[in-house]
Structure 1
C-alpha cells in the first residue's frame, strides 16, 4: 500500500495506489463525516491499514490537502456559476 499521485487520475490528488480512492475522500469520511476507519475500509473495500495510511498522509500534508480542497471548491463554484448562466441571450 502506497499513497501515489498522477495527473491522469483524480487530477493529481494523492490516492491509494491501485485505486481511485483519494486521501481527501477517506479523510472526509473519517474526519468530517465522523465515520470510523473500520467502517470506511469496509465501505471502500480496502484494508484498514490503507485507511490509516491515507489519514497519516492527510495529516502529514495538511497544507497540500487544504490547497486541493480549496481548488476543488473553486472549481465547483465555477461550474455552478457557468451552469446558471445561459450561453446565449434568450429571445
Structure 2
C-alpha cells in the first residue's frame, strides 16, 4: 500500500489552509481552477507545485466546507474593513468607483 502524504496542507500562515511550505492557499487554488477554469497542470506549473498538491488542495476545499466558508467570510470581513478605512478624496465613495 502506498504511503499517503497527509501533510500537504498546513495552517501556519494567516490562519488559512495552504499548501505546505508555500504561500499559496487552498482558497487560491480553488479560485484558479474551479472559478476561473484554469487547468490544474497549468496552475501546478505556474506556482512550481506538483499536480498532486493542486488536486489535494481542491479535495481539501471540498472536504472542509465549513472551514472554507469561515475562511471566505473572514476574508470578506477583512476586505470590507480595509475598504472602509482607505482615505479617499472628499465626495468619493467606494461604490461610486466600482460602478463606473
**Shorter-normalised TM range:** 0.7 to 0.9
Q: Provide the TM-score with structure 1 as the length reference.
A: 0.84
Q: Aligned Cα RMSD in Å?
A: 1.5
Paired position in structure 1 for 2:50:
47
Are residue 64 (structure 1) and residue 67 (structure 2) matched? yes
2: CA distance, partners of 1:4 / 1:74 = 23
Q: Secondary structure at the match of 2:24?
A: coil
Paired position in structure 2 for 1:29:
32
2: CA distance, partners of 1:40 / 1:67 = 24
Gaps of 5+ in 2: 1-6, 90-100
Question: How many residue pairs align between the two structures?
Answer: 83
Gaps of 5+ in 1: 87-91
Q: Provide the TM-score with structure 2 as the length reference.
A: 0.77
Q: Which has the larger radius of gyration?
A: 2
Kindly report structure 1 stretches of 4+ aligned residues shifted beyond 2 Å.
none
Paired position in structure 1 for 2:98:
none
